[in-house]
Amino acid sequence: MADAIRFLHLYDWRGDTISKDLRVNEGIRAREVRVVDTNGVQLGIMSVREALNIAAERGLDLVEVAPNARPPVCRIMDYGKHRYEQSKRDKAAKKKQKIVNVKEIRMSPKIDEHDFEVKLRAADRFLKSGDKVKVAVRFRGREIVHADLAKTKLDNLAAQLKDIAIVERPPKLEGRQMIAVLAPRSDGQKTEKKKAEEVDLEN
């Protein structure tokens, strides 16, 4: 790793993540550094050469974890092991990230009751799958004069889904369509009715 600047996520000598763009071994430019060992014990201020010799004797690397300190703080550690563990943490965090899709449902302002129920069931299914739902009421010709009817339809849809969804974006007229966006409720956003049902099930 000599003569190279390594860019990595590291924990500083207190154990907190502080920066990328950190230097390793001969890439460290400071003349003197404050050295911390693998257990977080401060070894004191010394020349970089002396710190490198200590790290080499232990078969480890010298990593500049707080370059803006005066003098910079360096930690003796197994850099290769750190990169491997950081890579595993990053992959684990990525797996936990849920990709939220936005499903679109379209309807007309004069949609009949049967078709409305079909749209309602579709929205229910999407929301329970963790997706957001964009509901668009499209106007044709002079139907735009029925914008109030479209808003009533959207409000009705949201009301029937209130136990599993929140209105992320209220009905709003955009051009020749009115749009609302519903998002799945998190556990902390459960309605009082839903909470009461869960209590009943537990009892």
Taking the C-alpha atoms of residue 115 and residue 109, their distance in angstroms, rounded to an integer, is: 12
**CA-wise closest residue to 22 among 77, 92, 88:** 77
Residue at a domain's end among 94, 120, 151: 94
Same-domain pairing of 132 and 164: yes
* Residue-wise pLDDT tens digits, 18-72: 345 678 888 888 889 999 988 888 999 999 999 999 999 999 999 998 888 899 9
Domain containing residue 90:
25-94
Report the distance separating Cα 131 and Cα 124, nearest Å.
Answer: 10
Q: Is the pTM of this model over 0.85?
A: no
Token pair recorded at residue 36: 């911390």
CA distance 44 to 51: 10
